Amino acid sequence: MPKPEIHPTWFPDAPVICEGKTLCSIGSTKPQLQLDVWLGNHPFYTNSQTLVDSEGRVERFMKKYGLQTKDN
């Protein structure tokens, strides 16, 4: 048995909550867990992801530091 004075309290059925809804129960050292993003509302998995990249990373870096690319 673990020593009672040195280990945190174990909650065997701590609810996992996201947007006010209980997703599941899990064992934890906290009485409840709050999530901001999970599989059900993540933009990648819900196909609502939008990529905005008007200029590439390499081009921005080169422009920022005034460097020439092989093409120029």
Summarize pLDDT for 15-42 with one digit per residue, the tens: 999 888 999 999 999 999 998 888 888 7
- Residue 7 confidence class, pLDDT cut points 50, 70, 90: confident
Judged by phi (left if over 0) then psi (alpha if -120 to 50, else beta), residue 36 lies in: alpha
Can you tell me the mean pLDDT for 47-70? 75
Q: Is 58 helix (H, G, I), strand (E, B) or coil?
A: helix
Strand partners, 15: 25
Rounded-to-integer distance, Cα 16 and Cα 33, Å: 5
Higher pLDDT: 36 or 57? It is 36
Taking every pair of Cα atoms in the chain, the longest distance, rounded to a whole number of angstroms, is 70
Q: Does the reported pTM lie above 0.75? A: no
Task: Give the integer Cα–Cα distance in Å for 32 and 14.
Answer: 5
Q: What is the pLDDT of residue 53?
A: 62
